[in-house]
Structure 1
Amino acid sequence: MTAPFLSLAQIRNRLILTARWVLRDHQPGPDGHCPICRTANCPVAAAARDVLHAAKEVQLWSTATQPTEPDPNDPQQDG
């Protein structure tokens, strides 16, 4: 179920799961051909690999930042 209330992280995770599922189904056999598409270079598997690559790049480009210096007013820190 895809709904407008899903976060971007949830949508990304669902894309990754779907791409992995597609790659499992379109994994080439011993002869090098896709068992579903029956082609040597399966375009569906290539698209799934592109989705995984793009999702990995998005994770690397995360906008979350870490504080540059510790907050002296933070009671959770040792100091």
Structure 2
Amino acid sequence: MTAPFLSPAQIRNRLILTARWVLRDHHPGTDGRCPACRTADCPVATAARDMLRAATGVELWSTATKPTAPDRDDPRQAG
């Protein structure tokens, strides 16, 4: 399946899964260096963390909508 046929939620989920996969492969070892890059501060892991932070912070839709005006017929608002 290619991107034009995916919903924004599916694209977001794939980005999150990819970022997690990258972080598993570039997780620092006991010596503090990335096993793939052999650097102390792996730029690939940093980019994956930034991507994960950005993707999980986005709201694709709001499930809670607030009424624009109070409903006079609602008994909970009487009083």
TM-score w.r.t. the length of structure 1 is: 0.76
Q: How far off is 1:57 after superposition?
A: 1.5
Alignment of 1:18-57 (within 5 A): 18-57=18-57
Q: Percent identity?
A: 71
Tell me which structure has the larger Cα radius of gyration. Answer: 2
Structure 2 equivalent of residue 11 of structure 1: 11
Structure 1 stretches of at least 4 aligned residues deviating more than 4 Å after TM superposition: none
Q: How far off is 1:64 after superposition?
A: 1.7
Q: How far off is 1:63 after superposition?
A: 4.1
Q: How far off is 1:43 after superposition?
A: 0.2
CA deviation map 1:26-45 (0-9, x unaligned): 00000000000000000000
Q: How large is the RMSD of aligned CA atoms in angstroms?
A: 2.0
> Tell me, what secondary structure is at the counterpart of 2:10?
helix
> Tell me, what secondary structure is at the counterpart of 2:64?
coil
TM-score w.r.t. the length of structure 2 is: 0.76
Structure 1 equivalent of residue 76 of structure 2: none
Q: In the aligned structure 1, how far is the partner of 2:8 from the partner of 2:24?
A: 24
Structure 2: segments with no counterpart, 5+ residues: 74-79
Q: In the aligned structure 2, how far is the partner of 1:44 from the partner of 1:32?
A: 15
Report how many residues are paired. Answer: 69
Structure 2 equivalent of residue 68 of structure 1: 66
